[in-house]
Structure 1
Amino acid sequence: MTSTAASPRHGAGGSGFGVRLVLMLISLLWSAQLMSVIGLLAGNAQAEIAVHFQTTQIAWFSLVTALVGSFITPFVLKAADLYGKKRVMVALTVLGLAGDLIAALATDYSTLLVGRAVAGFYAPIVALVYAIARDVFPSRLVGPASGFIGGGIGLVALGGPFLSGWLLDGHGFRGVLWFLVAATALSLVLLLVFVPESPVRGERTPVDWLGGLLLGGGLTTALYGIGKGTEWGWSSGRTFAFIGGGLLALVLFVIVESKVSHPLYELSMLTRRPVWTVFLTTAILAGTAFSAGTVNQLLGLMPKIPTVSDGLGFTATKLALIGAPASVLIVVVSVAAGALARRFDTRILLAAGALSSAAGHALLSWFHHTVTQLMIVGLLSAIGIGLIAALVPVLVIEVVSPEEQARANGMQGMLQGVLLSLVTQLIFVVLAQNGTVMQGTRFYLDAGYTHAFLLAAGFFLAGLLSIALIPRVKRLDEAETGQAVV
């Protein structure tokens, strides 16, 4: 990396955050956590959207955003190196705002999906937020600033469900979509007014367009085939063609990346055992943790219709109240995990999180019929999710050098997005096995929810087993001096 201007991080005086830095910090916090808000609100709105538009394809309401985000991430990181992180962040926010507007104004489901796809351009902004924080804050404040930005997930976990309840119960899914428009517009204003451009630039090298197209196209094609497997039949030629074609494109991507002079992703990083095992494990666990909530949202908000739908028919506000203790626990556990990672082997802590999540979702497969069951069993799952959310970035820090951090974050985030999309798609496939279509809308029976919870538990167990592959690495407190830790 090269710098085209003097970085402010070394020249600022004082011992704390001034007004300018506080406003910058708030602006970056809002940009980073907006994706979490979007995911939570959209997840809660999908049940009402499915009924309103009478669609059996509600899975794509969330999937299309994740797929677009995964597809463009490598190109975004390259553009940020060449043209500046703030410029790219502003461009992504403008595109996200355009997508939100299209979705809010949509009168049919196809147009709504187009809007959600365009809004997916906003997804990679999280990686750029942490990168620009390292560039524009004084060196003594980079750690506290990054911690504050990451800790904002606690505010989303605590307040997001109640915001969702207020919007959905009072204004319907349109209220949610218009709130996303306002929230993204505010993010754009904050970026333009309070966030300076990063002085750091990367070397100008050719863009690996072929690699990016093979990666994004392969992932999209394979996941589309998995989603259509139930409709087309798992032995159908079309199903095999899409899944097989997507996998072939991914193989070609690996070949291309190994031969081009300037690949989108440095796959050589994955030849080191500590790196590839951490990426694999964190992608499985975090991808599952962030997708498994789909089952709870559909279970709680889908209507109760005898022989047709075994949803619990809660209001969004009631669902928020049920989940409030678990949300508080996630925040507490996340904070504690950050402190424990300085004293204990991160692999052991992550294994505890994986085991707790697996046990919680396995129990939810049997005990998900009453408010009491959801609240009590949800606490066990919350412990695991809190540990996973806090420890994934710690593990990445522990296995790469500071110079590799940004690229490693991008690669891990892409893999996590792939697993999130895959698990989400499989959840809807499992639900559909025990689903009923009535008046154009797919509803789900209790067996579907049971099997979906078990599917999530199985992925958490897979993540638990993969932890055994990770070799011993230096702890977080040993990796803070800027040294390579592998």
Structure 2
Amino acid sequence: MSQTRTTAPPTQERTPSATRNVLVVIALVWTVQLVALMAALSGIVQADVAIHFRTTEIAWFTLMTLLTGTFFLPFAVKAAALFGKKKVLLVATGLGFIGDLIAAVATDYRTLLIGRGIAGIYAATAPLAYAITRDVFPRRWVGLASGILAGGVGLVAFGGPFLSGWLLDDYGFRGVLWFMAISTAASFVLVAAFVPESPVRTVGGRMDWLGGILLGGGITALVYAVGQGSHWGWDSGRFATYVAGALVALIAFVLVERRVTEPLFPPAMTRRRPVWSVLLATSIAAGSLSAVGVVIQLLILMPAIPRVSEGLGWSGTHNAIVTSPISAMILVAAVGTGFLARRTDARILLGTGSALTVLGYGIGTQLHHSAPQIVGMGLIAGLGTGMVMAVVPIMIIEVVTPEEQALANGAQTLGQGVAQIVVSQLAFVVMAQHGAVLKGTQFYLDTGFTNGLWLVVGCCTVGALLVLLIPRSKRLDEAEVGQAA
């Protein structure tokens, strides 16, 4: 297997215009941040969905997309290397639209989950968009474009609550689901119209089907077992069987990858300390932060019912107004980090951001009962969140070659997704220990929310400590980029 860059015709070799670069950035920002927006909208709407369908299994409303996204991600990354990143982007976006459409018209919870599962394939677009950024922009645009793509999480955090509040308050959860479908369709149009195909391509490669099935199946079995552990019993034979099966599949995956000629994630890349340490630290740090919404959104949106539920009971619009300063902080921190990363050791940025999230949510374990307390917690944690989310794709660029970019992004997204799923599932389990079921819906008491926040604090602390494993590497301005190479 070999990697190559296709050569543009002589008339296209001049530096792309600023207008063209801006249009590509806009299309990629929409694509990347739609993943985050879908997650945010899902979290905000899940309380209404649980009450409408009278289900205690609301965790799967969010986790179905994460599970399918995790399973299909290795295949999408490999297919992008073989057939082109833009082509795979369009396929993943098209399938995401079909899933969103099924969810929007679903009349029962099972069908809703099927739609959500299909829509989860869209998650593969984020690592591919980051990889395209490195491939198609000139050197001076790579850091800025990467920072903007990652920093867009602040725009989602700022505008998402207002958007979801308006949709939820005026049109109910159906309005949110229809908005998801329309937004995914817009993503397809933007990518098709403005994003060029990446010139970096694998020559003569083929798909590692066995490795993908073992990896995706093993992770899916593990996550499903964690999600069902509280129902089956943590010491039950069924739980042990799923965990054992998952471990066997993952061990088999490692053995297969050592023997196949074209593995999903080449051992030569993942064995390098700068690569595996960055993947590990960023996956835990960013995955834990992605999972915190499970706790915060249920705390804010669940109603207050004596001895049953001790949520704050805010409306979607009230939530947007109160949390808007936090969202602004995430945006400022993310964009600022994109500029700082050009000449600052990225390890310092990741460690500082993780430490700030530990401090913010640590305060929140005790102070989360009023709007001022939520804002105080969120401003500190939001500063750290913006830093972490913005520096993750930049750190990947610093430790891999352009040819390895899509694979490394895929591995990081896979690790982050697994961390998010596991932490989210554990958060639901922890919170449910102090709650009650009323009319088929799971509600939570204040102690449950507090313990859920402590779980997030612990996981963010682990992410901060893992930064110590990362050796010094090239700064962003020193790294090889696609067109500049």
TM range (shorter): over 0.9
Do 2:154 and 2:329's aligned partners in 1 also have CA atoms closer than 8 Å? no
2:185 is matched with which residue? 185
In the superposition, relative to structure 1, how do residues 80 and 273 fare at CA in structure 2: closer, same or farther (>3 Å)? Answer: closer
Counting aligned pairs with the same residue, the percent is: 53
Quote the Cα distance in structure 1 between the aligned partners of 2:211 and 2:224.
Answer: 20
Kept after mapping to 2: 8 A contact 1:11/1:138: no
In structure 2, distance between residues paired with 1:382 and 1:148: 17
What is the letter of the counterpart of residue 13 of structure 2? G
Give the letter aligned to residue 97 of structure 1.
F
Structure 2 CA distance for partners of 1:402 and 1:176, relative to 1, 3 Å = same
Distance 1:193 1:476, change over 3 A: closer
Deviations 1:418-454 (A, max 9, x none): 1111111111111111121111111111111011000
What root-mean-square deviation, in Å, do the aligned CA atoms of Structure 1 and Structure 2 show? 2.2
Deviation at 1:273, TM superposition (A): 1.8
Structure 2 Cα separation of the partners of residues 35 and 322 of structure 1? 23
How has the CA–CA distance of structure 1 residues 252 and 122 changed in structure 2, closer, same or farther, with 3 Å as cutoff?
A: same
Change (3 A) 1:78 1:161: same
Larger RCO, structure (CA 8 Å, separation 6 or more): 2
CA distance in 1, matches of 2:304, 2:263: 51
Q: Find the counterpart in structure 1 of residue 113 from structure 2.
A: 113
The question of 1:202 aligning with 2:195 is answered no
- Structure 1 segment 91-170 matched on structure 2, within 5 A: 91-137=91-137, 141-170=141-170
Q: Distance in 2 between matches of 1:481 and 1:179?
A: 36
Distance 2:319 2:478 in 1: 42
**Local SS of the residue matching 1:261:** coil
The alpha carbon displacement at 1:482 in A equals 7.9
SS at match of 1:264: coil
Q: Deviations over 1:327-374 (max 9, x none)?
A: 111112222223333444322332222221112212211111111111
Question: Residue type matched to 1:438 in 2?
Answer: L
Q: Does 1:225 align with 2:225?
A: yes
Structure 1 residues 133 and 333: CA distance shift in structure 2, 3 A: closer
Helix, strand or coil at the partner of 2:453: helix
- Provide TM-score, normalisation by structure 2: 0.94
The letter for the 2-side match of 1:95 is: L
Describe the superposition over 1:444-474 as per-residue Cα deviations: whole angstroms up to 9, x where unpaired.
Answer: 1111101100000000111122122222333
Q: How far apart in 2 are the matches of 1:182 and 1:424?
A: 27
* 1:11 aligns with one of 10, 13, 16: 13
- Compare 39-48 and 192-201 and name the one that shifted more: 192-201
Does the CA contact (< 8 Å) of 1:158 and 1:324 recur in 2? Answer: yes
Q: What secondary structure, in the 3-state scheme, does the structure 1 residue paired with 2:367 have? A: coil
Map 1:465-484 onto structure 2 (within 5 A). 465-479=465-479
In structure 2, distance between residues paired with 1:156 and 1:337: 17
Indicate conservation of the 8 Å contact 2:286/2:416, yes or no.
yes
Q: Does the 8 A contact of 1:326 with 1:375 survive in 2? A: yes
Q: Between Structure 1 and Structure 2, how many residues are aligned?
A: 481
For 2:420 and 2:9, the matched residues in 1 are separated by 36
Deviation sequence 1:203-247 (CA, Å, 0-9, x none): 232321111111111111111111111111111111111122112
What whole-Å deviation, never above 9, does each CA across 1:347-402 have from its counterpart, x for those lacking one? Answer: 23322222211122122111111111111121111121122112222222222233
Provide the C-alpha distance between the structure 2 equivalents of 1:193 and 1:269, rounded to a whole number of angstroms.
33
Specify the code of the residue in structure 1 equivalent to 2:45: A
Give matches, 1:294-309, under 5 Å.
Answer: 294-309=294-309
- Compared CA separation, residues 102 and 133, structure 1 to 2 (3 A): same
SS of residue in 2 equivalent to 1:442: strand
- Give, as a single letter, the amino acid of the residue that structure 2 aligns with 1:153: V
TM-score, normalised relative to structure 1? 0.93
Letter of the 1:42 partner, please give it: S
The change in CA–CA distance for 1:135 and 1:386 in structure 2 (over 3 A counts) is closer
Query: Hey, what does 1:211 align to over in structure 2?
Result: 211
Task: Give 1:275's aligned amino acid.
Answer: V
Give the Å deviation of 1:481.
7.2
Amino acid of the residue matched to residue 90 of structure 2?
V
Cα 1:81–1:344 shift into 2, 3 Å: closer
Q: What's the offset of the Cα at 1:192?
A: 2.8
Q: How much has 1:148 moved relative to structure 2?
A: 3.6
The one-letter code of the counterpart of 1:76 is: A
- Give 1:328's aligned residue: 328
Q: Which amino acid aligns with 1:182?
A: I
| Separation in structure 2 between the aligned mates of residue 478 and residue 117 of structure 1, nearest angstrom | 40
Aligned partner of 1:351 in structure 2 is 351
Distance 1:67 1:473, change over 3 A: same
Q: Shift of the alpha carbon at 1:27?
A: 2.4
* Native 8 Å contact 2:147 2:337 kept in 1: no
